[in-house]
Amino acid sequence: MNDNRNRTPSISPAAVVVAAIFLLVSVIGINWFTSFVPVVLPPQASAESKSVDELFYVLVIIGGIVFFLIQGMLLISVIFFRAKSGDQSDGPNFHGNALLEIVWTIIPAGVVVFLAVLSFNVWMQNTEPKATVNLIDGDEVKINVSGARYAWTHTYQTGRIDPNGAQIVINSGDKLHTYIGQNIELELRTQDVIHSYWVPAMRVKQDLLPGNPATGGRPTDIRFTPVRVEGETYPASYPIVCAELCGDGHGRMTGEVIVYADESQFLQQFYEPAIYAIMNPPADPVLRGEILIQEYICNSCHILDSLGWTSRTGPSLNGIADRAGERVPGQSAEEYIVQSVWNSQAFVVPGYTEQMAAFGPDQPDANAMSAEQLYAITAFLCTQGEQTDCDIENQTVAIPAAINTAFGLDVDITFGQGDGAESDSSEAPDED
Ligand code: HEC
Ligand SMILES: [Cu+2]
């Protein structure tokens, strides 16, 4: 034993040959393995996806080679250098091999640096701001995404003006509409906790970070350009999911990217109809409300069978019109609904907490709600009941003082056209 103490291990030629064979087998095996990867990955639906996938292949190949090489060496050691039966002695005592140690430090260090440079390159390339973004009909349109437990909301600041002089904002709910070749740039904000906007087919993912609510949170952005996918029929749909565990409804926090074949299909099937609908709302406020309410994230917290909502963070809205008049003494059904939406904290339904998001004229994009929109939404909710207590004809609902104070508003909402003469905000297009 003693004569072994300061021995330097020698590397036998046989070991080198075995290692070389393993390296070869690993390379071939990994190449064969990666030929299956395209089947596993979603379609490459963005210009960015190719470089991301190539980076992924390089990582899998290098990682695979290292894995198989180490496991192979381990296996060889276990088989060829095992103790012979009856051998109770200690093994030879080695004191390192400077050459080996240098080699096995330099190679991994080199590999890590190589991967870092490669990854940084792909990242820089894919996140680089484009000269023109969100081009629609020759204009750059700002598109904001809002994440809230548990829904995504997309809003397009169209730059077009409605008859009242206000900018037309299209709220497309959980769907992002785009077309092949459009450079998309989204500004993301969360209304509560950290979420992560992930579109696997576009190979992009970006966290939404809470910030100072007074400044509207802390925006992050994400960029990608949809490209044509072989054999796809357009408009095509690709899932959006939340990639940051954000609560018990995290799994429900999904959406869709709808990709149109070209700009004209996008304009015809999404953009112009959306603007037309805003410019020419149905005369019936109930109908308007039914359309509007689906643009907000109410579905992420409430059950409402008539619209297929299934979420349980808040009370069910089935039959709300029957209960609304009995919730707060002295408050009519329509007053209660108005208050519930604009200032839900004023009365918290027993058994629930103050979790409902705020909606109102001063709220950020996804939660912005004008008096006219609130009027229509209330009119719709007033139809959700058996013998609704709401009277949406000839009624003026005074906005509760608390809301006036909070929003600095002084408006009433008029239902129908009758006595509500003194109202100063009934810009609801009158019907009947
Ligand atoms: C983040 C979850 C959440 C969202 C989003 C949300 N709500 Fe609520 N909602 C609640 C909770 C929780 C309550 C019960 C506590 C309270 O009254 O404030 C509630 C209460 C209500 C009530 C009173 C129900 C009753 O039985 O008295 C109405 C009406 C209502 N919400 C309508 C809406 C509408 C309309 C929207 C969309 C514009 C909406 N909510 C969006 C969580 C939410
Ligand atoms: Cu989330």
* For residue 23, pLDDT beyond 90: no
Residue 37 has pLDDT above 80, yes or no: no
Cα–Cα distances (Å) from 364 to 141, 172, 285, 357, 391, in that order, read: 17, 15, 24, 11, 30
Last residue of a domain, one of 97, 127, 157: 127
**pLDDT band with cut points at 50, 70 and 90 for residue 160:** confident
pLDDT at 298 over 50: yes
Q: Residues 325, 391: one domain?
A: yes
Any ligand 1 atom below 6 A from CB of 350: no
What local confidence, expressed as pLDDT, does residue 342 receive? Answer: 84
CA distance 254 to 174: 7
- The pLDDT tens digits for 379-393 are 889 888 887 667 666
CA angle 24, 29, 31 (to 5 degrees): 100
Give the per-residue pLDDT at 389.
Answer: 65
- Protein residue whose Cα sits closest to atom 24 of ligand 1: 315
**Residue 372 sits in a domain of what CATH number?**
1.10.760.10
Query: Which range has highest mean pLDDT (116-125, 271-280, 301-310)?
Result: 116-125
Q: Where do we find the tokens 């904002």? A: 169
User: Same domain, yes or no, for 202 and 144?
Assistant: yes
312 alpha carbon – ligand 2 mean position (Å): 16
> Given 235, 253, 278, which residue is the final one in a domain?
278
Ligand 1 centroid – CA 119 distance (Å):
44
The parent domain of residue 43 ranges over 2-82+89-127
Q: Using an 8 Å Cβ cutoff, are 384 and 306 in contact?
A: yes
pTM for the full predicted model: 0.74
Q: Is residue 404 part of a domain?
A: yes
Cβ–ligand 1 distance for 297 under 6 Å, the answer yes
What confidence category does residue 105 fall into, taking pLDDT thresholds of 50, 70 and 90? very high
Both 195 and 253 in a single domain?
yes
Distance CA 157, CA 142 (A): 5
Residue nearest to atom 42 of ligand 1 (CA): 356
Q: 164 is written with which tokens?
A: 């009242």
**Same-domain pairing of 354 and 402:** yes
Is 101 part of any domain?
yes
As a whole number, mean pLDDT of residues 43-54 equals: 91
Q: Which of these three, 248, 278, 308, is where a domain ends?
A: 278
Mean pLDDT of 349-367: 81
Q: Whose CA is closest to atom 8 on ligand 1?
A: 356
